[in-house]
Structure 1
């Protein structure tokens, strides 16, 4: 529901791709590639030739994306490729984007899940953690910024641990009282 609301707030269409989950095996890479191959063929047939990615420096991921797009007769563009991630992080905040951290790896620490991605966050983030989470250290949900026609009204719900990661349940603002990441002691 929040992704739908985010798309409406920005004013762009949202087409979802559903991947299998659950045990055993969840969504294997082969299954993922097969599904995405069909999706890319669908978009190619609609005239889409280029897909943009926000990757910054993971060479293997870029090569994988480009190889899979090439199979569909498409190409990828990487507009922020090789940019300094510290500079990108500060620019995103200075431009007015607002986000909550929705998932963090244990090495980041449980005290970071559910908090705002802001200058204070960058100041206290452990130095070995990429400030853009480029290595998968954390994920976020952007709820406001210059491209938004209006902010997405969202609040942090329950904080849980699942599959060794910390997750913040992000909910529409009117559905729950705000909780804090202090429910889980920092690691």
Structure 2
């Protein structure tokens, strides 16, 4: 099931941005021509939260409103198979084709297998993949993000790599200084995830408060999540 905040009709904008609500996606939007972006696209679990970030749907809605773009939610079962995920995304891509969308932009930085997977999923369509920040140095990328004036909260961390003191903190120079040497500063390997609530793409900040930190099993490991309200 998909839901979006704008009518499904042909659009002059030709790009959809794959949206996590986090720092890299926000920076990609910062670099793109805003008028060329038709909408943001994200997946949400049937429990009303992002399955990876744990962020509530209503916060994504407020984020999109502050940015000034519609957002489309692809709702997934809480225990979603890869086949079901691909089926639902294929339906969305078919609709995008009918609307004249030419490309989907992704905020991946260097994970070749993820890029290859995305390219394979798009290969059955007329839609191209776009990787605006691909292969950028991650130390330079995180500094560019902060220098641009973005602000973000760390919402989830891989418990095998970071302890429960990290979620709920603002992503800033002090957070980066506290990261162990083996952690990518952009968290590209899944070490941590963020929610961006202010910066140059926002008409006004998204008001958020940090709640409790909880630990949940994810696959064979565990993640620490900070609830945002």
TM-score by length of 1: 0.87
Match of 2:144 in 1: 91
Aligned equivalents of 1:134, 1:51: Cα separation in 2: 19
Asked if residue 118 in structure 1 is aligned to residue 176 in structure 2, the reply is no
Asked if residue 168 in structure 1 is aligned to residue 221 in structure 2, the reply is no
Aligned equivalents of 1:28, 1:85: Cα separation in 2: 31
**Number of equivalenced pairs:** 167
Structure 1 residues not aligned, in runs of 5+ = 172-187
Give how far 1:69 is off.
1.0
Post-superposition, which runs of at least 4 consecutive aligned residues in structure 1 deviate over 2 A? none
TM-score by length of 2: 0.72
The Cα offsets for residues 67-87 of structure 1, whole Å up to 9 and x where unpaired, read as 101112211010110000111
Q: 1:151 aligns with which of 205, 211, 220?
A: 205
Aligned equivalents of 1:142, 1:15: Cα separation in 2: 18
Greater share of strand residues, 1 or 2?
A: 2
Matches within 5 A, 1:22-37: 26-37=79-90
Asked if residue 136 in structure 1 is aligned to residue 190 in structure 2, the reply is yes
SS state of the match for residue 149, structure 2? coil
Structure 2 residues not aligned, in runs of 5+ = 1-57
Matches within 5 A, 1:47-86: 47-86=100-139
Q: 1:11 aligns with which of 68, 72, 76?
A: 68
The Cα offsets for residues 40-80 of structure 1, whole Å up to 9 and x where unpaired, read as 11111111010000100000100110110111221101011
The Cα offsets for residues 116-151 of structure 1, whole Å up to 9 and x where unpaired, read as 001111111111111111111111100000010000
Aligned equivalents of 1:109, 1:85: Cα separation in 2: 22
Aligned equivalents of 2:151, 2:171: Cα separation in 1: 7
Task: Supply the RMSD in Å over aligned alpha carbons.
Answer: 0.8
